A and B are shown apart, each in its own frame.
Chain A
Amino acid sequence: MFSNFSRRQCLLSAATLLLAATSHALDVPKGKVVLSITGNIQFKNAGDRADFDMNMLAALPQHSFTTNNPWYKEPKKFTGPLLRDVLAAAGAQGTTLKAVALNKFKVMIPVADAQKFPMVLASLMNDMPMPLREKGPLFIVYPFDSYPDLHTAQYYNRSAWQLRNIDIQ
């Protein structure tokens, strides 16, 4: 099963992130910080953290997909940078990332997921910024409809919304 990635695959993923990271510099956020990446990262812009504001995330290549999901009755279009690109921007090296929401909800996500699936760190839903009460401002979304096996509780739980921090482990 694809959720049980081998150690080798994880290491490869980490190596890929490292390679990607070396090719990008990390700016200092000018607006309100919406995401902080901590832990095993190479590029930092606020002490031990890599902080991002909306503009920094919007500057990364944007991806969109429309998918059914357990939170809304109808399919929604989610837009944002790929999670793997965000991780690469911080020079993340690790096998697991701990996503922490605004309400301190925490969930562990294998880094391999970000490599295997085009997961987006959505900041737009149906092309509109996501307010807090609509699970914004940032929402880790799996492309559920593209991979039917993703329609399980495991991946629903990994889809952290109101995301605020990512800790690389």
Chain B
Amino acid sequence: MIETGQDTNARSASSSHWALAVSAVLMAVFVAIGAIQTRQIKVLDNTIYYNEESISWVFFQLQQEYQAIRDSLRQAERYPQAVNPESLRERYEIFVSRLSLMQSMRISPTVQPLLMQAPTVELLEQTISHADTFLSENSKIVLTPDVIKQLSSEFEPLSEPIHDMTLLVSQVMVKTISHHNATVRNQVHIGIGLTVFQGLLTLAFAALLIRKVRSLEKRSHELGRARDEILLLNSELEKRVHQRTSQLEAANQELKAFSYSVSHDLRSPLKSIDGFSHLLKRSLKDRADEKETHYLDRIRGGVQQMGELIDGLLSLAQLSRDTLHIGQVDLTAIARRIEQECRERDPDRQAHVRIQEDMVVTGDQRQLLVVMQNLLGNAWKFTSKQLQAEIEIGSQAGKAGETVYFIKDNGAGFDMAYAEKLFGTFQRLHSPADFAGTGIGLATVKRVIDRHGGRIWAKSKVGEGAMFFFTLGTTLSPDHWQAPQGWIS
């Protein structure tokens, strides 16, 4: 079964929306992963910073150098004769240099608990301030046993505060690094979760893409199948049209042949009836009474009407069968000629006929003459009961830019309700008593207009005249004009 285009489109749109949604979530996950990784780098940087500054190492050195100078002072106190002032001062300076490291930018200001050690630092600074007088690198003061004793007593109490400070810093560092490790661990966990989620989303995205590709493939396959079916149907249709056209042409030929032979064959008995009724009337002469004479006239009238009908049918058949000879046709001249014939036939008629100048068209001269004879003849006939007949033949521009020719009269007109019957064979909208006619004229006109690729229609109102319009499809020059396809010539 072929899926409808609407279903496929709806599914395709839904699939696209899903793909967009998954892409958006994927992008969000990428951003989240990027943010976490950036954060991790910062945490790692901080960790590296702490490591690189070796905060613990600084305090360890401070403690160690303190112990070294304290031991040196103890040694000097115990063995005053062996004091080496230069070595003692160097020892002292090395210790002091470690103290300065604490204030340097190497110690992270973010390690807040260090502030708690301010009293210890202050104590250290006070001790150094006093000891500098005797132990600084440039001091010239002699280090007597009393001085050394004094200095030693000042350095001894520093042991515990320095130890506590070093211990606290070490604990702070452990805590800080543990905190950072926990943060990194959490972020790694989140990162793993996001990566898994990202993987799942990628799979979903891939699944959607595969589904979409499959849907497109299916649709393409269905379209291909539909196209093949259409081609097959088209080919069958063409074959059928060809077959029907051949059948129609054959039927038409048969019909024309039948019509032609019937018309011809009817003429012989009609001529006999007409001839013998004429002879009968002449031989009876005055013997026939009024009633018999009336009967004979009715017979002859019927024969004459039948003859006209047969002529009309023959003309219609002839016009349908004849090959068109396309050329320039002067409709104005034709109209004038027909007008003249009408006036000669009815010299007493009061008629005002207006014919537009230079109406030259492309078509078959003989057939267009028949058209004009019928249309103008009708106008002349149906205005016969008017005191002053008004007939106009002209042209105007149509809606599509084509030229529309018209024949307008102020005659009897007709009821538009019967307009469809107007161009049918043997269709008459007036009684023969009012207006004579066979009912073949307009059918003939329509056949000719059809053969010229044009259209014919009419507008009218009973008692207010009628207006017939027609167009001709033969707007090309005679050299280029070709009969439309399917025309029966």
Residues of chain A having any CB pair with chain B under 8 Å: 70-73, 102-103, 105, 131-135, 152-153, 156-157, 162
Given A102-B90, A153-B51, also A70-B97 (CB < 8 A): no
A-B contact pairs, 21 of them (CB 8 A): A70-B104, A70-B105, A71-B104, A72-B104, A72-B105, A73-B104, A73-B105, A102-B90, A105-B61, A131-B93, A131-B137, A132-B93, A132-B94, A133-B93, A133-B96, A133-B97, A133-B137, A134-B100, A153-B51, A162-B94, A162-B97
Q: Is the CB of B52 within 8 A of A153?
A: yes
A-B contact count (CB 8 A): 47
Given A153-B48, A156-B52, also A135-B104 (CB < 8 A): no
Contacts of A103 in B (CB 8 A): 61, 64-65, 68, 94
Kindly report which residue of chain A lies nearest to residue B105, judged by CB atoms.
A73
> Measured between C-beta atoms, what is the minimum distance from B310 to chain A in Å?
117
> Measured between C-beta atoms, what is the minimum distance from B177 to chain A in Å?
15
Alpha-carbon separation in the docked complex, A102 to B65 (Å): 11
Alpha-carbon separation in the docked complex, A87 to B94 (Å): 26
Q: Is the CB of B106 within 8 A of A132?
A: no
Contacts of A73 in B (CB 8 A): 104-105
Given A103-B94, A134-B100, 12 more pairs with CB closer than 8 A: A70-B104, A70-B105, A71-B105, A72-B104, A102-B90, A102-B94, A103-B65, A132-B94, A132-B137, A134-B97, A153-B51, A157-B52
Kindly report which residue of chain B lies nearest to residue A161, judged by CB atoms.
B97
> Measured between C-beta atoms, what is the minimum distance from A25 to chain B in Å?
30
Q: Is B357 an interface residue (CB 8 A)?
A: no
Q: Is B228 an interface residue (CB 8 A)?
A: no
Alpha-carbon separation in the docked complex, A44 to B220 (Å): 90
Q: Is the CB of A70 within 8 A of B106?
A: yes
Kindly report which residue of chain B lies nearest to residue A154, judged by CB atoms.
B52
Kindly report which residue of chain B lies nearest to residue A102, judged by CB atoms.
B94
Q: Is B53 an interface residue (CB 8 A)?
A: yes
Alpha-carbon separation in the docked complex, A153 to B100 (Å): 19
> Measured between C-beta atoms, what is the minimum distance from A102 to chain B in Å?
6
Contacts of B105 in A (CB 8 A): 70-73
> Measured between C-beta atoms, what is the minimum distance from A10 to chain B in Å?
25
Contacts of B138 in A (CB 8 A): 131
Q: Is the CB of B97 within 8 A of A135?
A: yes
Interface residues on B, range: 20 to 34
Kindly report which residue of chain B lies nearest to residue A73, judged by CB atoms.
B105
Contacts of B104 in A (CB 8 A): 70-73
> Measured between C-beta atoms, what is the minimum distance from B107 to chain A in Å?
10
Contacts of A102 in B (CB 8 A): 90, 94
Alpha-carbon separation in the docked complex, A167 to B68 (Å): 24
> Measured between C-beta atoms, what is the minimum distance from B48 to chain A in Å?
6
> Measured between C-beta atoms, what is the minimum distance from B101 to chain A in Å?
8
Contacts of A135 in B (CB 8 A): 97
> Measured between C-beta atoms, what is the minimum distance from B93 to chain A in Å?
3
> Measured between C-beta atoms, what is the minimum distance from A50 to chain B in Å?
22
Alpha-carbon separation in the docked complex, A105 to B90 (Å): 15
A132 CB contact (under 8 Å) in B53, B61, B97: B97
Alpha-carbon separation in the docked complex, A133 to B64 (Å): 16
Alpha-carbon separation in the docked complex, A32 to B161 (Å): 36
Nearest 10 A/B pairs, CB to CB: A153-B52, A132-B93, A133-B97, A133-B96, A133-B93, A73-B105, A103-B94, A70-B106, A71-B104, A131-B137
Contacts of A156 in B (CB 8 A): 52
> Measured between C-beta atoms, what is the minimum distance from A91 to chain B in Å?
29
> Measured between C-beta atoms, what is the minimum distance from B58 to chain A in Å?
11
Contacts of B94 in A (CB 8 A): 102-103, 132, 162
Alpha-carbon separation in the docked complex, A157 to B90 (Å): 23
Alpha-carbon separation in the docked complex, A162 to B97 (Å): 9
Alpha-carbon separation in the docked complex, A102 to B94 (Å): 8
Alpha-carbon separation in the docked complex, A105 to B64 (Å): 12
> Measured between C-beta atoms, what is the minimum distance from A162 to chain B in Å?
7
> Measured between C-beta atoms, what is the minimum distance from B176 to chain A in Å?
17
B51, B54, B94 — most chain A CB neighbours (10 Å): B94
Alpha-carbon separation in the docked complex, A156 to B51 (Å): 11
Alpha-carbon separation in the docked complex, A134 to B99 (Å): 11
Alpha-carbon separation in the docked complex, A156 to B100 (Å): 17
> Measured between C-beta atoms, what is the minimum distance from B103 to chain A in Å?
10
Contacts of B61 in A (CB 8 A): 103, 105
Alpha-carbon separation in the docked complex, A103 to B93 (Å): 11
B106 CB contact (under 8 Å) in A71, A105, A134, A152: A71
Contacts of A105 in B (CB 8 A): 61
Alpha-carbon separation in the docked complex, A153 to B53 (Å): 8
Alpha-carbon separation in the docked complex, A153 to B46 (Å): 12
Alpha-carbon separation in the docked complex, A114 to B289 (Å): 159
B48, B97, B138 — most chain A CB neighbours (10 Å): B97
